[in-house]
Each structure stands twice: as structure tokens, then as C-alpha cells.
Structure 1
Amino acid sequence: MLYFAYNIYTPLEFAGLYGLFHNKFFSPWALRIFKIAAIAYVFITIVIVGLLGLIHRFLNEWVCLNNLVYTIWILVFIIQEYYEEPLYQVNLRRPFFWYLSGLFFYAPCTLLIFSLWHYIKSMPGSSLSYLLIIHSVFNINMYLLFTIGFWMDAGRKQFNIR
């Protein structure tokens, strides 16, 4: 049952971040990459869950897939902003900047950690186990940056993420 709970969190997190990103792409090429990544995610998810199930073990591959897609979306968004908006400036007053900043560091770190998950867990005394501490620091950083974004959004008296 514990594996099921951990595994079911993965698509819920994906759905939440899909909702966060879905209206951020205005360029046709960026929107196309966003949609292709989401569709590929669904197909690969079907294969992973179909082959491995949800209750027999923690699906670290699924977590890796999530964070790979998040990293793609983040990079596409950054490229879109800098190349499609000639006068683009980083705006620290936009809550989405803070959400994106938190994910920018957390997603690649999580991808690395969970790609090594079974090895790290099988060798608890190895130096690789210290990666979990680094991951925790990035996790805390992400939540702090998200909090800044939520605080700024609430300060504007509206809940418009952009």
C-alpha cells in the first residue's frame, strides 16, 4: 500500500505542474514541444505502469520521467522568453519567476537522485547516500521559492500565476 501511495503522487504532481505551465507557452514551436512532451509522458507512463504495476515497488523511473519533462518545459519556457521577447527582462515581481526558479534547480537534481535510487538505497553507507542531503537542500529551496511566489501573488490580491 505504501508503494501505491508514493506511486500515485507522481501523476498528481505532474497534473499540477501541467496546470502551472499549460498557459505559459505562446510561441507555436514552444507550445508544440510542450504538448509533445505531455503526450510522450502519457504513453511512457502507460508502458511503465503496465510493465511494473503500481503496488509492487516504488517506480523511480516514473519520477525520473516527471522531472525530465519538467526540465524540458523549463528550458523551453526560458528559450521562448528570451528569443521571442526581444526586450524580455527578468521580472522578480512575477510569481511565475519564483515557481520556475524553484523547479529549475529541483527538477534536474531530482532526476539525478531518482535515476540512482536503487543503488543509493542498496548502499546506505556509500558516499552516494550524501546526495540525499543535497536533494533535501534543493527541495527546501524549491519550497522557499514557491512560498515567495505565493506571497507575491497573494500580495497582488489576485491568484493570477503570471
Structure 2
Amino acid sequence: MIPEMASPAHQAMLRRFSLYGFLKNQRYFEPFFMLILLEKGLSFTAIGFLIGFREVCINLMEVPSGAMADRTGRRRTMMLSFLSYIASFALFGIFDSLAALYAAMLLFAIGEAFRTGTHKAMIFDYLAAHDLSSLKTRVYGVTRSWSKNGSALSVVLSTALLF
């Protein structure tokens, strides 16, 4: 617990931010994703280019997605992110063509770009609104540690599911 955030309302928000951090990295699909792409007939090289394309797209969209979040609101940006993920997974599931897989990967990249900075901005906005900006590093550190714990658990559970 962070003593300066001892009020029940602040503790509830810290729990919510931490829970999101923990759950956002529960990516049980990742080990299966490679198998699915291999089953669709892609070579390891093609999969590498597909993943590289996703990473380039995410990096190119980071700043524009932040600007859009500032203009349209954080919640709307998060909703757009999750809708983009859903559309991406639908395309991955339905189509086998390389062009469709690149379109799906672009949608996934949009989801990632719109999600990554929005959570952090929501935390900082909350702290600023409650005159707790001096706690930015500590609060973000707590939520980040929950995120890392979630990643570690995800790896263990994904491995158990795969084998």
C-alpha cells in the first residue's frame, strides 16, 4: 500500500489499475498463434515478416494514437483498441491468404498502439485530478510490477497449456 493513497477510493483505483496491469499480459494465445500460422501454410520467414510488419506499424502509430486519445478521450481509445483486437482475431480465424493476414496484423497493431499508452495516461490523469501527481513513479511502479507478475504467470500457464 502507498500511505499517501490510504483512502478507500484511492486504494480501489490502485487495485483497478493493478488488476488491469496484471490482466493485460495474459496472452495465452501467443504460443498457439505460431502454430496456427504454420498450419495456414506460412513459413517461419513469412511469419517473421508478418510479426516485423506488426512491430513497425505499432511504432509508427504510437504518437498518432496518443494524440487521438488526447482529442477523443481515453475510454474511447481503449474501446477502439479492443474492437481492433476483435476484428484482428476474426480475420486471423476466417482467412488464410497472406494479404488478409497482413490486414489482420495491421488491426492487431492498431489495437496495441491504442492500448499501450492509454492505461498509463489514465493513471496519470487520475493522479493529477486528485492532486497526487508526486506519486506518479510509485503508483506506476506498483502497476508495472503487477504487469510483470501477470506476464510471468502467463508464460507458466501457456507452457502448461501447450504441453
TM interval, shorter chain, is 0.3 to 0.5
- Comparing both structures, which one devotes a greater share of its residues to helix? 2
Calculate the TM-score normalised by the size of structure 2.
0.34
Structure number with the bigger relative contact order (C-alpha 8 A, sep ≥ 6) is 2
